[in-house]
Structure 1
Amino acid sequence: MLRAIIVDDEPLSVKRLNRILSESGTVEVCGAFLSPLEACQYAEENPFDVAFLDISMPEIDGMSLSERLTELHPSIHIVFVTGYDEYAVQAFEMNALDYLMKPVTAERVARTLDRIRSRPAAPAPEPLFAVRLFDGLRLFRQDEERILLKMRSPKTEELLAFLIYRRKVSREEIIDTLWGGLEPEKAHKNLNSTLYYIRKAISGAQLDNPIKTYRKEIWIEEKHIVCDLYRFGRLVKQIRQGQGTAVLPLIEQAVEWYTGPLLNGKGYEWADAYRRQLEREYTQLLELAGKIQLERGERESALHYFEAILKLDPLREDVSLEAIKIYIAVGRMNEAIRHYYQLEQLLQQELGTQPDPRMAEMIRIAIR
């Protein structure tokens, strides 16, 4: 049985297509989404065979969504569904399997399903090279065995991490960054030999090599790699394109991917600025999630995000103010008072200042 998802911002269209597919007896609708962002989140974690996509949607149009979905699942079939036939040529330029006009009919959907079944089955996906750069550096083969990859030396690890971070970079920049103190000839030899040992470790794990070279450039071919840094970056981009509470599931997923500072404990100076940037982005996501949860009346959930921010930056008085408001609102007075006094002591030690007087006033009023 085919597994399908439907993405359309019109509830009636989703309901109609869901019914037709379910009644076909050959399709399991495993997800029906009004929000493309929620569909992306689902696709990150779940397999499926075919996606029925509306083309004209407010958050992400169907064309862009199809690119994101096929990036995650290269073998899926894409079927566009729309009320405007002027998109037909563009749809087939995107290599869509089919194009359905609204309102869809059972007969027309049946022909689409026949086309899907007539296609040869896609081969089982090859295991991918998995890289985790947050909170250290971990390398393994992403399959049931999860074989760990060991690099030959710390410099081999550093070169691999640098290539994944930069994605595409010149040999000269690599040498300036990693072998800046050596004579040019020796530096080039070190680069070539270190590349050789990286490729040897990857091929030894029976993985496709993601490192490509041409003349003076070296780059990472992302289709052969699963990287937490890349996943986090894509989610941040989707969140920035989204609106309102619809982005909350994506924020939650991005927060899960960010398990700690970039390359934590490795001491790579070239990563310092980017590490700080990522931490700022992570903090901004926590803050946005906290505000969304407050708007929804979910105080405890909002508090979870505000407390996570304060673990990173305990001097954030604006966040402490929000946290104390929530402690008081949910009846956790002792924690409100304890938080205030801890902040007071910390500000005095670090900055020689006192907390925002609004905090003390809120507590004073609450304990009357």
Structure 2
Amino acid sequence: MRIVLVDDEILPLTRLKTLLEKSNVPEIEIVGEYTDSLKAIEEIQTLQPNAVFLDIVMPDLDGLALGEKIQELLPDVEIVFTTGFDQYAIDAFNLHAIDYLLKPVQNVRLEKTLERLEHINNKHKKVPPKHTIIKLFGGLNVVTPDGHTQLMKWRTSKAKELFAFMLNHRDEMIYRDTILELFWPESDIDKASKQLYTAIYTIRQTLKNYGMDGVQISSPLLNSGYKLLVENVVVDVEQWLSCLKSLPPLQETSVDEHEKIFQMYAGDYLGDCDYLWAESERERLRRLWLHHAHQLSEFYIKNENYMAAVKVQEKVQALFSDAEENYFTLMKLYDLLNNTAAVEEQYWLLKKMLQEHLAVEPSEEIESWYESWKQANAMPHAQTFS
């Protein structure tokens, strides 16, 4: 487990490091120690920690602001706050911190925090056996063990949506009243209950038809709710998140692994289903993928592998065609590759997209760049990526 420590005081920083190194949790690696919060934020992406222990009261950038910035840069990192003042607890947990330790940190209390971190870390590393795969990226499909992708056919759209909802909340108890209110809000209780039973029966039969014996619906509380259990079946979103979480820092020796995980994203979460309840998860996964795409593209640009950066940006554009910055990035990349026709194409595609979606013109920055590019186009290549 890769850990970064941030505290503006050297003594508690050293004490925490010593406690961590003597803990009962194996494979702890302290990859960074900082007394300067601004320095920590500069280097956090390079370090790619699994967890960050942050002091809250610090000069320049306090721990709460630093934690928010770290979560923006590394959405999957776990945050543990350390402080001598307990009045910050609510603010800390509003940032989805995994824990909150009061100074001086006690060994027994720290061990409980590390157990939680280890459990989360092991959960992300665990990849189910590769048998049947349920695909949620791009839509709801099934990949059989022999590699064939099948579009799941459902008797009713309501049964399909209920299955997707239960899969989204797999291994959680979903109460019957919650389901009835969400899926049959206009029906009286007796009619809605019958429709629910029919939908559950349909889901079970459909799973049986596709040989997914590892996906079971249980009703542990005497029909007051349901729980979807998934065993011996891979869910592509879960697999992708696990792989993304365990990626090593992006460098020459690991770029192929990063590229493979980047390509695993095959479209929005349940992208062919207009389910409002799925929107927050769809946006979260999209944000994670776009963040990784940006990292990969920047790495290729830094190493002057412009064609590889183009391929990353082209996939981003294919999936999310309304991002103005993507067109601009491709314009500059194609300029670096001396592909004038492609620069022109991206500019006019951008104008068309903006007119159709927003009825506006490209930003002043893009227009200015494009005009400068046109003037310099007949001259020796002199553009830079900026």
TMscore range, shorter length: 0.5 to 0.7
The answer on whether the counterparts of 2:127 and 2:239 sit within 8 Å (CA) in structure 1 is no
**Structure 1: segments with no counterpart, 5+ residues:** 1-53, 75-126
1:131 counterpart SS class: strand
Alignment partner of 2:369 out of 333, 358, 364:
358
- Check the 8 A contact 1:177/1:270 in 2, yes or no: no
Report the CA distance shift for 1:315/1:164 in structure 2 as closer, same or farther (over 3 A). closer
Match of 2:242 in 1: 234
Instruction: Mark the CA change 1:244 to 1:178 in structure 2 (over 3 Å): closer, same or farther.
Output: same
Shift of 1:163: 0.6
SS at match of 1:139: strand
Equivalenced residues, count: 263
Task: Report what 1:225 is aligned to.
Answer: 233
Deviation at 1:332, TM superposition (A): 1.0
State the alpha-carbon separation in 2 of the partners of residues 70 and 317 from structure 1.
35
Deviation at 1:266, TM superposition (A): 3.1
1:140, 1:149 within 8 Å by CA — same for their partners in 2?
A: no
Alpha-carbon shift at residue 195 of structure 1 (Å): 1.7
TM-score in terms of structure 2 length? 0.56
Corresponding residue number in structure 1 for 2:122: 67
Cα distance in 2 between the residues matched to 1:346 and 1:66: 42
Whether contact under 8 Å (1:286, 1:308) holds in the other structure is no
- The aligned residue for residue 208 of structure 1 is 214
Deviations 1:318-368 (A, max 9, x none): 333332222122221222233234434544664433442123213422422
Asked if 1 retains the 8 angstrom alpha-carbon contact of 2:143 and 2:149, the reply is yes
SS, match of residue 207 in structure 2 = helix
1:112-154 Cα distance to aligned partner (Å, 9 max, x none): xxxxxxxxxxxxxxx8443112222223543578888644432
Query: Structure 2 residue aligned with 1:306, among 276, 298, 313?
Result: 313
1:55 paired residue number: 27
Q: Any residues of structure 2 matched to 1:52-201 within 5 Å, and which?
A: 55-57=27-29, 58=31, 67=122, 71-72=126-127, 128-139=131-142, 141-143=144-146, 150-167=153-170, 168=172, 169-201=174-206
Task: Name the residue aligned to 1:107.
Answer: none
Q: Is the 8 A contact 1:141 1:207 kept in 2?
A: no
Paired with 2:233 and 2:159, the residues of 1 have a C-alpha distance of: 18
SS in 1 for 2:231: helix
> Which of the residues 339, 349, 362 maps onto 2:346?
339
Does the 8 A contact of 2:125 with 2:246 survive in 1?
A: no
TM-score, with normalisation over the residues of structure 1? Answer: 0.59
CA contact (8 A) 2:262 2:289 kept: yes
- Whole-angstrom CA distance in 2 between matches of 1:154 and 1:132: 17
Unpaired runs of 5+ residues, structure 2, are: 1-25, 32-48, 52-116, 380-386
d(CA) in 2 for partners of 1:236 and 1:149? Answer: 27
Change (3 A) 1:183 1:152: same
Aligned-pair distance for 1:237? 3.7
Shift, 1:69, TM fit:
8.7
Kept in 2: contact 1:131–1:228 (CA 8 A)? yes
Cα root mean square deviation, aligned = 3.7
Hey, what's the Cα distance between the residues in 2 that align with 1:147 and 1:361? Answer: 50
Q: In 2, are the aligned partners of 1:202 and 1:208 still within 8 Å (CA)?
A: no
